[in-house]
Structure 1
């Protein structure tokens, strides 16, 4: 249908159709009433959802935007986003015709349960938007939402069998102007609130929670940064000396992971995200390869002697696959007999993974049990892991010089380990008094800030700590 204005001010309408032979046919429409009815039909099809009779997405957007240009009309307003909870099951069980009937029933419930001025729309298959506006307070709207929830709970679709299928929905509400005065932001907030319902138990309407949204946004950003870190291998490995208790020389280095992004540096953060995102294997692979790469650089630049062991933190449940192990052998075969696998995950060791680590081509098969005494390590773990090294947790070492109970614990562990050919490492040493006491308790190896802090390039052992060790040995002699 086309409208044509003539120079004399008259308006005529023409209809263009295609004949059966494919020729265009133009006819003058004389009946103005039929023209107007046709126009109304076209406008209705443009703006309304055919199934429910509610506004469609485009009309809802247009009408909402028009309202948001007049804050005095909006007053207090609420945007309600709804998802129907039983639609997929209805479609799968009874067919799409009954799914359509379920949607239609929902639309009728909404129309009959809210004030006439409320904007109601079907946005997509099972998604609806309702905009309540022009109220004096949130409490007025909350009363309307309560009425709607009650109406929904009393609505059901009667199925062919005679059984009634209850109408069930999940919804999220955002508030104007309390949450935002911007329509797109309110949509984002209402959608977030609805998602929280669907993620939980479904079947109710909840209001937007800014604190929860902020927390979720932060977590989402952290996950994005974590995957960026993995994809671009944005890791640095710091190295901390493990020192001989006999003469203060460097016996080994422990490789400690650090993230290279300002918001994501701590190993505990990285490992937690790796666990949540199911990326523990990628962390294991990167740790093995990148720590070895740094160590090889120190060797080639003569920054270390070359006979020190390398303690690498490993995840108990993870191990390199065949292709990764082959690549590691090709690049770092000269280093493999110096590797000590340090188990750090706070779970019982995975025996299959431990066996795979032990049998990896070229590796020494030597383990260290980290954080012993922190709560998860026990005698059963010692028997399953059979480590060559036991690292005493810093919670035991802290203030050991003044705590007889801790001294007794270390004395017992040292006795147990030495009878079985294991070496004891006291980690977390921060004072001369702590160092002196663990020397008296006959530990084998030492680690901590008092001796040397972790750094990207290995540092020498502090002269003060070496002096403590030398004085102790001279005293024994």
Structure 2
């Protein structure tokens, strides 16, 4: 269809060019005709004037032979066909007519031109000479000019056609390349998200119409960021290309494999027989065969994938819902340990609706200021409060208190964590101002930061601008970052760590031991504090390995001039054990739970 359309466009362009050239030839011919006609008449006038001047004596003396002799000189003028020399009274003294003066068809077409000239002698008019000329020569010259112009234009058309054919071919190739790139992923050559969405839309329509059931898979490469970090983008690209090739080999020729994101792929099984069973077979092959080792510069890279499956029209009736369902099933597979596949279920559907409702309420809560900070003190070995951690809390008008474990991960996955972080800064500013009004100066407050708050430069700049706008100082607040946050940011040229550090803010590594757990990174980070995750603290009294691990962490941190904070201290035995290991600071329910601003003030003032 596109080829036929291109051919029609090409023929239309050629026709337009020919018509334009023809019009040009006609216009040039008309101009040339006017010029030739004017020149012909000028020549006839000149001849009439010359002959008329020589016939003056014949008119004065009324001598026909002399007049006849003068008129015979017109034989030398090939275009003159007849002439009459008239006396002053208008009678004919003599006439001339060329032999074979009858015009042919071209002469009849050209017509004749008549020129009259008054003959004078000593300024007095003695007669009149009337000359008639054949305009055939004008048409002869005009035909020659038109033929030459047509040939010139024809040659130009042929040359331009030859040149433009190559240009059209290059333009067409560029257009085809552009169309290809618009619908395909440059790295893997697979259809991209837009192309896959189009195919999925068509499949969904057929499924809803009852023509055929469809199955869509959402595939994510597990821990792909670690592969990129350890092997560079070259290793990451190698993995993505290999995963793409393996996926294509595991589906039928009519099925669609696409790359729809950084490390995300999708598969559309077109009209499979028994779609659930077919999808399960393909997903099993994907989970088992895609993770085979991938060679990169002599090193075997190992990957695994998590797969989510949705069936149309059972689970969804349009492309967007189908992708959402498959995505939810994929995340369920990740939550259950990765390297597996899961089908979308009604329970997952209910979870999606619950999350959507909670997300909408969270947006309202941020806008209406429903979020508040509760503060959990941090104590030194003597029991003195030397700091507080600000923890976000949400009291919903209908839901009541919403657990942080419910809305914080939701905020991170939806991008609302950016606005949540800014709301936290505004809230701590308001609490500090209220405490100052009451005459109390609290210890420094620690706020948690997530990596998703700084993925974009605009997010970083908004956060730093808010700090400046609110006038929050390093004496008032410090920041806690998870291991994943600092390690993702450490190599960035615009590191948020350096941005905060250069402004004088103290930094702490939160939940140490749950992320990369690499002690070698600590020297590069130059943070003032290290917080040991409560998962290690709870086993300190029952596990010698846990105690040895905490001892090692404390020794390394002290060697790097870092303070160590133990989180989740809940028993007196845990407190005593941590202090015996030279832990600097303690935080947990044993000493104080997170409290509202007024409660923490009362507790610390005694």
TM-score, normalized by length of structure 2? Answer: 0.42
Tell me, in whole angstroms, the C-alpha distance in 2 between the residues paired with 1:443 and 1:223. Answer: 40
* Stretches of structure 1 lacking an aligned partner (at least 5 in a row): 1-84, 92-102, 107-124, 131-144, 151-155, 157-167, 171-188, 202-206, 467-477
Which residue number corresponds to residue 481 of structure 2? 343
1:349 to 1:341, Cα distance in 2 relative to 1, 3 A = farther
CA distance in 1 between counterparts of 2:196 and 2:478 reads 55
What CA distance in whole angstroms lies between the structure 2 residues aligned with 1:362 and 1:318?
A: 19
Native 8 Å contact 1:329 1:361 kept in 2: no
**Which residue matches 2:363?**
227
User: How does 1:5-404 map onto structure 2 within 5 Å?
Assistant: 148-149=211-212, 193-195=316-318, 196-197=321-322, 210-245=346-381, 247-261=382-396, 262=399, 265-302=402-439, 304-306=440-442, 308-319=443-454, 321-322=460-461, 324-333=463-472, 335-344=473-482, 346-347=484-485, 348-351=487-490, 352=492, 355-360=495-500, 363-404=503-544
Instruction: Please name the residue that 1:10 is paired with.
Output: none
**CA shift at 1:87, angstroms?**
11
Name the structure with the higher helix share: 2
Deviations for 1:81-120, whole angstroms, at most 9, x for unmatched residues?
Answer: xxxx9996799xxxxxxxxxxx9xx9xxxxxxxxxxxxxx
Provide the C-alpha distance between the structure 2 equivalents of 1:194 and 1:258, rounded to a whole number of angstroms.
38
1:451 corresponds to which residue?
591
Q: Which has the higher contact order (CA 8 A, sep 6+)?
A: 1
Query: Considering only aligned residues, what root-mean-square deviation do their CA atoms show, in Å?
Result: 4.2
1:451–1:462 CA contact under 8 A, matched in 2? no
Inter-partner Cα distance in structure 2 for 1:354 and 1:414: 30
- Whether the 8 Å CA contact 1:358–1:365 is kept in 2: the answer is no
**Equivalent residue pairs, number:** 293
* CA distance in 1: counterparts of 2:522 and 2:470, whole angstroms: 32
Equivalent position of 1:431 in the other structure: 571
Larger radius of gyration: 2
Identify which range, 346-355 or 394-403, moves more after superposition.
Answer: 346-355
CA drift at 1:422: 0.7
Mapped contact 1:349–1:381 kept (Cα < 8 A): no
Report the secondary structure of 1:255's partner residue. strand
Gaps spanning 5+ residues in structure 2: where?
1-194, 214-253, 255-269, 273-311, 327-342
Q: What is the CA–CA distance in structure 2 between the aligned matches of 1:128 and 1:433, rounded to whole Å?
A: 63
- What CA distance in whole angstroms lies between the structure 2 residues aligned with 1:396 and 1:249? 24
CA distance in 1, matches of 2:553, 2:200: 64
Structure 1 residues 289 and 345: CA distance shift in structure 2, 3 A: farther
Q: Distance in 1 between matches of 2:325 and 2:518?
A: 37
Distance 1:211 1:380 in 2: 43
- Give the 3 Å change call, closer, same or farther, for CA 231–323 of structure 1 in structure 2: same
Cα deviation, residue 227, structure 1? 1.8
TM (norm. structure 1) is 0.52
